[in-house]
Amino acid sequence: MSINPNNPLSVLKSHLHATYAAAALLLATGSLAQAADLNALIWCDHADPALLQPFEEANGIKVNVKEFEGTGAGMAIVEQSQPGDWDVMVIDSIDIPRGVEKGLFEPLPEDKLPFADLFPQVKMDGSTVAGKRYGITEKFGYNTIGYNKTKVDPADMQSMAALTGDKYKGKIAIYDYYLPVIGIAALAIGKKTAELTEADLPAIKDELLKMKANAKLVGEVTASQTALATGEVDILVGGGEWVTAGLAKENPALDFSIPKEGAVLWSQSLAMFKDSENKELALKFIQYIMSPEGQARLATSSCYWGMPANAKAALSDEQKKILRFDEQPDFLARAQSYPAPNADLDKKMQDVWTEMLQAQ
């Protein structure tokens, strides 16, 4: 966090943050690790013991994890911590520049990480800052249409028009995250997700309202996954392999499509903190996660599945089939980037989302 000593407000805020720090550390992190341990701010997929244990055993250390949802919540934890408390962080790939602006991240050594093995579309060349890479994409997937193929006609799922028509009214759930679903609405009306401006919002809002009128619920990850798995709904707007793949064994009827309008490509990255006191271990962790074995474990984490960013991930044939690994070149060619609005547009997008949620 940068502090302007000439601005009393900034100074006061910094003192307040420092005051919060002790309590926040107690509440948010519990007992922080010994210096030799690795402290990781993560999403739930990294909490899987099947992923962490091999690394812990190989290095004789413990990985202390703190789960969070949403970049804002993650940044708040960092701001309320002491420099050096955290070593690595999982973050939306599009938000890496936000962390760099705040001076949080360390440039990654490209020669020590398998950038060359990543699917080219998820290398995020556009997210470099001053030519340096501050994060590496570890997992990706699509916000698109997830559905139960025994309940809906898969041919209908090849067009987003099915989401606003009458045929599946009351059989639809919407994933409750404004950025990807606004991206889907934009695709449905023929806009490019990378070129969205404030002028596009009224048309996007109309499209969202049409989707909402057909929807039974707007749910976060667990709620929307449960709704699709239990048959409460047959279609999930914003769903994809991250919903259907993990449930494939119990419910092979769940699938996803990349409709003719396209899909929104999501990706998550790993970043190393500039103030980490364990940079060597942090790099080892990133190397492990990006290794073929680590990638396979992360891709099939018990929390949610997703495509490994490393094309050499050691997935079994069955896992590849569930993730539709071989179809990725076509999917990636048709997917569009995750909306990455500036702060002002981001706020306006969230307000549009709020209005959609409140609409009856």
Footprint of other proteins on this chain (CB under 8 A)? 9-10, 12-13, 16, 19-20, 69-73, 75-76, 170, 176-179, 216-220, 223, 226-227, 230-232, 343, 346-347, 350-351, 354-355, 357-358, 360
Return d(Cα 196, Cα 355) in angstroms, integer.
19
Q: In terms of CB distance, is 41 or 313 closer to other proteins?
A: 41
To the nearest whole angstrom, how small is the minimum distance from the Cβ of residue 73 to other proteins? Answer: 6
Sequence-distant (6+) residues with CB within 8 A of 161 are: 188
To the nearest whole angstrom, how small is the minimum distance from the Cβ of residue 65 to other proteins? Answer: 19
To the nearest whole angstrom, how small is the minimum distance from the Cβ of residue 357 to other proteins? Answer: 5
Count of residues for the chain?
A: 360
Q: In terms of CB distance, is 29 or 257 closer to other proteins?
A: 29
Sequence-distant (6+) residues with CB within 8 A of 252 are: none
To the nearest whole angstrom, how small is the minimum distance from the Cβ of residue 64 to other proteins? Answer: 23
Q: In terms of CB distance, is 234 or 261 closer to other proteins?
A: 234
To the nearest whole angstrom, how small is the minimum distance from the Cβ of residue 93 to other proteins? Answer: 14
To the nearest whole angstrom, how small is the minimum distance from the Cβ of residue 11 to other proteins? Answer: 12
Eight-class DSSP state of 269: E
To the nearest whole angstrom, how small is the minimum distance from the Cβ of residue 225 to other proteins? Answer: 12
Q: In terms of CB distance, is 37 or 232 closer to other proteins?
A: 232
Helix (H) or strand (E) segment spanning residue 348? helix 343-358
Return d(Cα 307, Cα 320) in angstroms, integer.
9
Question: Which residue, among 241, 266, 246, 256, has the nearest Cα to 181 in the 3D structure?
Answer: 266
Eight-class DSSP state of 28: I
Tell me if residue 246 falls in helix, strand or coil.
Answer: helix
CB 123 within 8 A of CB 332: no
The tokens of 22 are what? Answer: 């002790």
Please list the residues that pair with 63 across neighbouring strands: 38
Burial class of residue 145 in the structure, from the number of CB atoms within 10 Å of its CB (0-12 exposed, 13-18 middle, 19+ buried): buried
**Please, where are the H alpha helices in 189-316?**
201-214, 221-229, 241-244, 279-290, 292-299
Question: Which residue, among 69, 62, 68, has the nearest Cα to 29 in the 3D structure?
Answer: 68
Q: In terms of CB distance, is 59 or 226 closer to other proteins?
A: 226
Compute the C-alpha angle 103/287/246, nearest 5°.
100
Helix (H) or strand (E) segment spanning residue 308? strand 307-308
To the nearest whole angstrom, how small is the minimum distance from the Cβ of residue 15 to other proteins? Answer: 11
Q: In terms of CB distance, is 10 or 128 closer to other proteins?
A: 10
Q: In terms of CB distance, is 330 or 355 closer to other proteins?
A: 355
Q: In terms of CB distance, is 71 or 287 closer to other proteins?
A: 71
Q: In terms of CB distance, is 223 or 311 closer to other proteins?
A: 223
Burial class of residue 333 in the structure, from the number of CB atoms within 10 Å of its CB (0-12 exposed, 13-18 middle, 19+ buried): exposed
To the nearest whole angstrom, how small is the minimum distance from the Cβ of residue 194 to other proteins? Answer: 18
Return d(Cα 191, Cα 245) in angstroms, integer.
29
